[in-house]
Amino acid sequence: MNNKELLQFCINLTSADGFPEPRRGKVRDIYELNDRTLAIVATDRISSFDHILGEAIPCKGQILNRIAAFSMEKVKDIITTHTLDIPHPNITIAHKCDPLPVEVVVRGYLTGHAWREYSAGRRVICGESMPDGMLEYDAFPKPILTPTTKADAGHDEDITQTEIVHKNLVSKQLWKSVSDTAFRLFERGTEVAAKQGLILADTKYEFGLLDGELMLIDEVHTPDSSRYFYKDSFETFAKEGTPPAQLSKEFVREWLKAHNFTGKQGQTLPTLPDAFRMEVFQKYAELFRVLTGEDFTPVITPDFDHTLSEILKKYR
């Protein structure tokens, strides 16, 4: 399969004949099949700095969907997941839950958003204290939980755990279950990553309720929701100070920053060249291989909307 085919058949905006237009998130298109079931299509869209980029990444959706399925299987003894079936590499059939209005980020290392806050002189993030004297990529004494509000478009905003309860976004009892579960999930994700020579630096979780039961929804431990470091490069960093190699969307953010885009008003979103889109694809495929232990084989679906329609009819 050549690069031209991979670039040509990216899945961007989907439409299933006979079904209402989906609810579109930054990456996923969500179809309501009935009162209790959803079809979640992982498209090849990519977002950064809370903006959906103009060009899609080949096979990104199916890589994310397959990693999410792999990772959901690894944590199903901790919490019930929304997954019912994976009829196509890009499609998950899932329980329809009432999503909680917050996202839960667990951080084991000082990097990304936490480092940007820290380097600006702030020592508290989402109500969590960060010790003085830390350097970028240092491990926290123990993982911290930094929630955010949820936004389909625009910026997710930091929020404290106390504010979540006081604003009645989540009850105190339910929030304790959410936070306890998030730390257990992070511990499991750390264990799975370590077996593959990776360090799980931070990750995002989303939860919902189904008949009063807490359920893990969306994705889990994918490169869109997580930041991974190679363990061997992290050990080299500790000795030589060379920034550790990571598998995450951070390199996309760095490319955008180098092209004068950080999501601020008035900035022009740059066009992703085909060569860079293929580079991003290779990085996603690499994480799939490293994390699952399997080589990634693309599945190209030229008329995806037709295939989607036929699949969804079976679950209506």
Q: Give the DSSP letter of residue 158.
A: B
Q: Whole-angstrom Cα distance, residue 20 to residue 17?
A: 8
Instruction: Specify the pLDDT at position 202.
Output: 96
Domains of the chain: which residue ranges?
3-97+273-315, 99-246
Lowest mean pLDDT among 77-86, 103-112, 227-236, 292-301: 227-236
- DSSP string of 33-46? EETTEEEEEE-S--
57 neighbors 10 (Cβ within 8 angstroms): yes
pLDDT on residue 234: 82
Q: Tell whether domain 99-246 is in CATH 3.30.470.20.
A: yes
Please state the pTM of the whole predicted model.
0.88
Question: pLDDT tier at 85 (50, 70, 90 boundaries)?
Answer: very high
Name the band, by pLDDT with cuts 50, 70 and 90, for residue 153.
low
Q: Which of 192, 187, 197, 279 is nearest to 233 (CA)?
A: 197
CA nearest 147: which of 132, 122, 167, 131?
Answer: 167
Percent of the chain exceeding pLDDT 90 equals: 83
If you average pLDDT over residues 18-47, what whole number do you get?
95
Q: How far is CA 268 from CA 22, 156, 264, in A?
A: 28, 21, 9
Tell whether the model's pLDDT for residue 66 goes beyond 60.
yes
Tokens 């679906």 — which residue? 301
Q: At 73, which helix (H) or strand (E)? A: helix 60-75
- Render pLDDT for 228-276 as a digit per residue (tens, 0 to 9): 998 888 888 877 878 888 777 778 989 999 999 999 999 999 999 999 9
Nearest to 63 by CA among 281, 266, 304, 307: 281
Same fold yes or no, 3-97+273-315 and 99-246: no
Query: 3-40: buried (b, 16+ CB within 10 Å) or exposed (e) per residue?
Result: eeebbebbbeebebeebeebebbbbbbebebeeebbbb
Please state which CATH number belongs to domain 3-97+273-315: 3.30.200.20
- pLDDT tens digit sequence for 289-301: 988 999 999 999 9
